Amino acid sequence: MTETVFTYAAPGLKFGRGASGEIGWDVQRLAGRPDARVLLVTDPGVAATGHPERVAAGCRDRGLDVVTYDAAHVEPTDASFAHAIDFARDAGPFDAIVAVGGGSAIDTAKAVDLLLTNPGELMDYVNAPVGGARAPEHPLLPLVAVPTTTGTGSESTTICVLDVLALKVKTGISHERLRPTLAVVDPDLTMSQPAMVTASCGMDILCHALESWTARPYTSFDAKLPEQRVPYCGSNPIADMWAEKALTLLAGAFRTAVRDGSDAAAREQMALAATFAGLGFGNAGVHVPHACAYPIAGRVRDYRPAGYPQDEAMVPHGMAVVMTAPAAFALTFAASPERHLRAAELLGAAPAEAPGAGRDVLPTALRTLMRDVGLPSGLAELGYGEGDVDDLVEGALKQQRLLATAPVDVTADDLAGVFRASLEHW
C-alpha cells in the first residue's frame, strides 16, 4: 500500500525589518521567566557586523542574562560542534538559546541545544551509518534562530549539518526536536552579506525550491506507521505552494541583491524567498544536487572563494549544491516535465525553441543565472577533474536519505554522468 498521509510542521515566525530588536521579549515569553539566562551563538564574521551584540544588548535591556559564544565555525565540523558544546556545558545552565548568523551559526546552536538537554555525545545522534542515529528523548531548550544570510532556511528545518573530519564526509543530525522554536527573520541583518555569500546562499534557496518542487510525491512512498514518518515526506501540496512562491520572489530579486547589496527591497525579497523555500523543503526534502554537494564540499583541496574566511579551503554549501543542478534537472526531467518547465517559466526562462527540447530549458536557465551572479564556471574551477568522478560518485551514493527523495531511481552511472556534465558549464 502506498502513503496517503503527509505532515507539515514549522516554527513560529516573525518577519520584517526591525524584528530582531524584539528578541528579548520573545525569549522571556518562550523561556517563561523575565530573568532567563540566554546563550547567544554566532560566528566571528557575523560578530564583526555588530548584529549579535545589538541583539544581546536588546535582551539585556529587558533584564535577561546573555552569554555569547562567537566562535562557531563557518561550515561546521564535528570538532567545531564539540568546541561549542564544551563552552556551553561550562558556561551553563541556560534557559534559552539565540542563534544569530547563517546556517553555520544556527546549526551549531542546534547541536549545542541537543547536547545540553540530552545525554551522550554528538556522534550518538549523527545520522547512520556515520553515527548512532539516536533520537533525542528530552525536549530541547527554546531556540530562537535569527538568520543573517538569505539561504539555508535552517531557521525552519529539523537538521543540522556537519563535516566529520576524520572520515572526510558531510552528514547531519535530523530530528523534529531540532526545529527552532521561533524564526526571527529581519532583512536588515542580511544587508551586509558579501556579494559571493549572497550569490552562493541564493543558489541554496533556488535548489531548495527546485528540489522540493520536483521531489518524489509523498503518495509514491510505501505507507508508514505514524512513528515511522520522517520530517521529509516528499513533495506535497503545502510544500509546493512555498516552493513556487520562493521561485517567483527569487526571480525578481536575486541578480539585483548580488549586484547592489544596499538595495533594501531586493534584500527583503531574498529574505522572504529563503524563508519560503525553507518552509517548503523543510517538509518535502531535497535530492540529487544536495546529495552531490556533500562530496563536492567534503573533498575540496585548495579552493578559497572571495567573501568567505580565507584560512582554509572550502566550497560554500550553496555553490556546492548548484554546481550539479543543471545536469541533475536534465536527469529528473522525464519524471515531471510540466514541473521542470513551470519552474523555468517562474525563473523567467524563454520556452523551448524546438519540440522535444524541453529537457534543456531549466538547465539553460540555471547556467545563465549562475553566470550572471558570478559563480565559478563548473567543478573544474573548484579543482576537480575527470579523475575525481569515481570518488565524487562514491560520496554522493552515501547520501541515500536524499537520493530516496529523487523522482527517478539514481544509479552510480547516472551520478557519474551528472558530475562529468558539471565540470564546465561555459
Ligand X SMILES: NC(=O)c1ccc[n+]([C@@H]2O[C@H](COP(=O)([O-])OP(=O)(O)OC[C@H]3O[C@@H](n4cnc5c(N)ncnc54)[C@H](O)[C@@H]3O)[C@@H](O)[C@H]2O)c1
Q: Give the footprint of ligand X on this chain (CB under 6 A).
A: 43, 45-46, 49, 74-76, 101-105, 107, 148-149, 151-154, 157, 159-161, 189-190, 192-193, 197, 201, 204, 308-309, 317-318
Q: CB under 5 to 8 A by kind: which of Fe ion, ligand X, none does 271 bind?
A: none
Give the type of residue at 404: A
Compute the residue count for the chain. 426
Q: Contact at 8 Å (CB) between 189 and 20? A: yes
Q: Which does 190 bind (CB under 5 to 8 A by kind): ligand X, Fe ion, none?
A: ligand X
User: What is the nearest approach in angstroms of ligand X to the Cβ of residue 294?
Assistant: 9
Instruction: Write down the least CB distance from residue 207 to Fe ion, Å.
Output: 6
Judge contact between 234 and 220, C-beta under 8 A.
Answer: yes
Name which of 72 and 421 has its Cβ closer to ligand X: 72
Query: For the chain, how big is the Rg over CA atoms in Å?
Result: 20
Q: Which is nearer to ligand X, 190 or 336 (CB)?
A: 190
Q: What does the alpha-carbon distance between residue 68 and residue 70 come to, in Å, rounded to a whole number?
A: 6
Q: Are 123 and 78 in contact (CB under 8 A)?
A: yes
CA dihedral 50, 52, 56, 58 (to 10 degrees): 70
CA–CA distance, 290 with 230 (Å, rounded to integer)? 18
Residue 205 contact partner, candidates ligand X, Fe ion, none, CB within 5 to 8 A by sort of partner: none
204 belongs to the binding site for Fe ion (CB under 5 A): yes
Using CB distances below 5 to 8 A depending on partner kind, what does residue 378 bind out of Fe ion, ligand X, none? none
Size of the site for Fe ion (CB under 5 A): 1
Asked whether position 155 contacts Fe ion by CB under 5 A, the answer is no
Is 211 a binding residue for Fe ion by CB under 5 A? The answer is no
In this complex, which beta carbon is closest to Fe ion, that of residue 142 or of residue 202? 202
270: nearest Cα among 247, 253, 256: 253
Nearer of residues 126 and 286 to Fe ion, judged by Cβ? 286
The one of ligand X, Fe ion, none whose footprint includes residue 70, by CB under 5 to 8 A per kind, is: none
Can you state the angle between helices 195-214 and 264-284, rounded to 10 degrees? 40
4: exposed, middle or buried (C-beta count within 10 Å: 0-12, 13-18, 19+)? exposed
Picked from ligand X, Fe ion, none, the partner binding residue 189 (CB below 5 to 8 A depending on kind) is ligand X
Pick 88 or 159: Cβ nearer Fe ion = 159
Q: Is 35 exposed, middle or buried (0-12, 13-18, 19+ CB in 10 A)?
A: exposed
Q: Give whichever of 344 and 404 is closer to ligand X, judged by the CB atom.
A: 404
Segment near Fe ion (CB under 5 A), from 137-145, 202-210, 243-251, 416-424? 202-210
Which positions lie near Fe ion, rule CB under 5 A? 204
